[in-house]
Amino acid sequence: MTTDGEPNRADLGKDPRRVSGMFDQVARGYDRTNTVLSLGNDRMWRAATTRAVSPRPGERILDLAAGTGASSVSLAKSGADVVAADFSPGMIAEGERRYGRTAPGGGIRNLFFVQADATELPFADAEFDAVTMSFGLRNVNEPKKALRELWRVTKPGGRVVICEFSQPPSGAFNRLYRFYNDRVLPTVAKAVSSNAEAYDYLNESIRDWPDQQTLSTWIREAGWTDVAYRNLSMGIVALHRGRKPRDDRR
């Protein structure tokens, strides 16, 4: 455990460097595999996250744990300047290949890729109008520290949106969901992924992740206000939102 009571990934037998390496290995087929394993729900989750962020032209937005940039592209279509950040160099390289300056057609001009550690972001205080993180917080060794870093780089009055796997509130549905994750997902992952081990890790990280109320508490403790969430796909995923007070003295 870390000093503030967070589960340390090392406690779960997962070295952060090893996790990064696994994501590097699956970067090329990552988005396709996610669509298959989520039964197409990933597109709906991405659209819901973009609507919750409400990006506007002229804003500067940080999309942390952006992977290959699929969510970042959705945000950039608004005209906002979007920084796609991820700790996996393989994911960033794949995003650059698809959407960066050297991509066919010159890429997306208002989309920028940066390799970054969520617990030590390479950005100035109050740099972004909005920050968002989809399906990445549970992969961070110290998720509470990451939430504080997101708070630090957000302008007073700015907003945060966290989209993350969660715990379905219905006991019956939760059992069905666990059956899918434990029995079906590994088999499908072996068929469609170049590294099934990465999706074994995915299953473990989802199972060990706290429920909606706990994550909401963590977000408030990091300094965010107006914290709320809503369930997507019957609680498989929860979309959390908050705002940084305009008077940000803590």
Return binding residues.
68, 86, 117-118, 134
| Amino acid at position 168, single letter | P
Question: In 3-state terms, what secondary structure has residue 59?
Answer: coil
Provide the 10 A C-beta neighbour count for residue 190.
13
DSSP readout, 126-195? T-EEEEEEES-GGGSS-HHHHHHHHHHTEEEEEEEEEEEE---S-HHHHHHHHHIIIIIHHHHHHHH-S-
Between CA 13 and CA 104 the distance in angstroms is 40
Alpha-helical runs (H) found in the chain: 16-26, 30-37, 41-53, 70-76, 89-99, 143-152, 171-179, 185-192, 196-208, 212-221
Extract the annotated binding site for S-adenosyl-L-methionine. 68, 86, 117-118, 134
- For 163, list phi and psi in degrees, rounded to 5: -110, 120
Nearest Cα to Cα of residue 239 among 216, 210, 214: 216
Between CA 200 and CA 138 the distance in angstroms is 14
